[in-house]
Amino acid sequence: MFFKNCMLIVLATLSSAFCMEPSLADKITIITNTSVMPSNPSTKLLETTQKSLSVIPGFSECHRIIVFDGLHIKQKCFEQQYEQYKKNVIELTKTHPDFANTSLVFCKEHKHLALALKEGMKLVKTPFVFVHQHDFEIRKPVDSFGIVRSMEENPNLKHIRLHRKWNIVAGLDYHIDEEIDGPCYVPLCRTFGWSDNDHFTRKSYYDDFIFPKITKNWPMEWFINPLEKTLTMEDPNNHHFFGTYLYGKRGDGKYLHHLNGKRWQD
């Protein structure tokens, strides 16, 4: 009887363990920035890229935030199409599975990516965020659980980007190596370049380090990348202030497909 009871306890424990799938929902929030496009009021591009987020393990359960930037004065001619686009996305949140558990933020003024992202960040309750742009399609999965675990245990990992090209020295990535200071459970390349392309990061990284440096509604890269390049060329140890890494080993890449919303046509 004692042996039988022990076996029942073991089986119940194993059954419970198998049923309890790991979740990222309490760890990370996905923020997508969107803005006026020639294809408005169509939502086809946004549907395509939101669907692609589920390629990354655990992302289907995470809270999503979509931030709509305001119109620039030169874009006022697109106001009617853009307003209908917003209404169409609101309907998607009611019916479309890829838009479930999604909150919408509408900026009254043109803010560009950084300051619009700041508005969306106000709704984030998790320690980590995945910053996503509306015209980037995820092409292949990454170890999201390993990324979050690595960032939890290693404060030096602050900005882990998915490259839409290759993990090689090119463009803003003027220096790349595989040196990682501290624990890490996923393949990474250290880069001395900063980009706003899709990336994993901490909410506090944006609140305390990035947003204070954005003084105008210009692209974030115009502020952050020149600063990182200048400081790391002076002293490579200054990299730890920025904590920028590329997911994958050297030569890896092509995790994103740029659909180019400025030219997208259904």
Measure the CA–CA gap between 217 and 215, rounded to whole angstroms: 7
Mean pLDDT of 104-125: 95
Mean pLDDT of 148-175: 97
The CATH fold of domain 24-258: Spore Coat Polysaccharide Biosynthesis Protein SpsA; Chain A (3.90.550)
| CB-based contacts of 85, cutoff 8 Å, min separation 6 | 36, 37, 40, 41, 42, 43
Whether 49 and 39 have beta carbons less than 8 Å apart is answered as no
| CB-based contacts of 123, cutoff 8 Å, min separation 6 | 29, 65, 103, 105
User: Which pLDDT band, with edges at 50, 70 and 90, does 218 fall under?
Assistant: confident
Strands (E), the chain: 28-34, 64-68, 102-106, 128-133, 136-138, 159-161, 176-177, 188-191, 199-202, 244-247, 256-258
| CB-based contacts of 255, cutoff 8 Å, min separation 6 | 138, 139, 140, 142, 162, 163, 164, 198, 247, 248
Tens digits of residue pLDDT in 63-97: 999 999 999 988 889 999 999 999 999 999 999 99
User: Which residue matches tokens 């990336």?
Assistant: 199
Number of Cβ atoms within 10 Å of the Cβ of 135: 22
Whether 128 and 27 have beta carbons less than 8 Å apart is answered as yes
Alpha-carbon distance values, 158 to 6, 23, 43, 74, 97 (Å): 46, 21, 32, 36, 31
Mean pLDDT of 28-45: 96
Measure the CA–CA gap between 224 and 231, rounded to whole angstroms: 11
pTM: 0.90
pLDDT of residue 173: 96
Residue spans of the domains in the chain: they are 24-258
